[in-house]
Amino acid sequence: MNSIQMLNSINEAREFDFTSEDFSFIQDVMLRETGISISDCKTSMVYARLVRRLRKTGISSFRSYLSFVNCNLDERISFINALTTNKTQFFREKHHFEYLSNKIIPEWQQKKKRRIRIWSVGCSTGEEPYSIASTLAYHGLLSRAYDCKILATDLNTHVLDVAKHGYYSVDAINLIPRSYLNQWFIFCCGDEQEILKVNFLLQKHITFKLLNIIETWPHKGYFDVIFCRNVMIYFEKNIQQLLISRFWQRLGKDGILFIGHAESIGDMGSRFENLGQTMFRKD
């Protein structure tokens, strides 16, 4: 069954008609606006996420809704928010944090490096930058003796709002090292259940910014470490290579790039030293 036949079959049980032309339009908008390539097999996922926007806006067809997206910037932001994937957790791919803790930070301390700059690309709801910050704090790098800052960016306005507030389900305690949890996280009472709050001492070292990474980067300085994990898998190969080249340019001397387990640096491998386990040092 081809994609058109599949859509026609599925549409019989759907609240709104969703044509192959609608889906192609969505693919084109997402590729143009965000660089994200939506696979042909994601029709059900796209429908399920966008149908909520149709209900919320009161628009009665996908064709009318997509016309609205095309001419209304606020709705285009909501459209992008709905379609961007934001799965994350504290200390995800923990070998990266172990390397930061056991190798990179001791090297900085040995060299008496005081100015530290780290970028969390595609930070989602903030678990990654807070994991980075708590690792730095554990080793004393968030003290007044250091000038340490973390930039955390995402193109989804909703997840950035969650990240800035720093409230999480208590289920996250199983993912956070006990020595970090006791010092840098606070248990609070929510409306109906206990929640976990990030300590302000971590938050003040992180700047959360809205950024589409395929567009111009406003920051001009260099980074010591860039985390870009499970972000590039949604981009086409040529965009992935362009991004890695730009990361290389933004890394300082001996800077480290962390990428996701399903990602590769491809032809840019000659410009990095491969440290293993998706960790690369700028040559």
Q: Residue 229 phi/psi, 5° resolution?
A: -120, 130
d(CA 187, CA 181): 10
Which residues are part of the catalytic machinery?
49, 154
> Which residue from 40, 49, 256, 263 is spatially nearest to 156, judged by alpha carbons?
49
- 92 among annotated binding-site residues: yes
Token pair of 228, please? 């870009």
Q: Confirm whether residue 128 is marked as ligand binding.
A: yes
Dist. CA 113–CA 188, nearest whole Å: 36
Of 187, 174, 128, the C-alpha closest to 152 is 128
Helix spans in the chain (H): 3-11, 20-34, 43-57, 62-71, 73-83, 94-99, 105-110, 127-138, 157-165, 178-184, 200-203, 237-250
Contact 228, 121 (CB under 8 A): yes
Contact predicate 124/154, CB 8 Å: yes
229 is in an annotated binding site: yes
Q: Do residues 167 and 196 make contact, with C-beta atoms less than 8 angstroms apart?
A: yes
Distance, C-alpha 158 to centroid of its chain: 12
Closest CA to 136 of 182, 89, 186, 201: 201
Annotated binding-site residue? 230:
yes
3-class secondary structure, 151: strand
- Does the annotation list 154 as a binding residue? yes
Q: Which residues are annotated as a binding site?
A: 86, 88, 92, 128, 154, 229-230
Q: Which residues are annotated as a binding site for S-adenosyl-L-methionine?
A: 86, 88, 92, 128, 154, 229-230
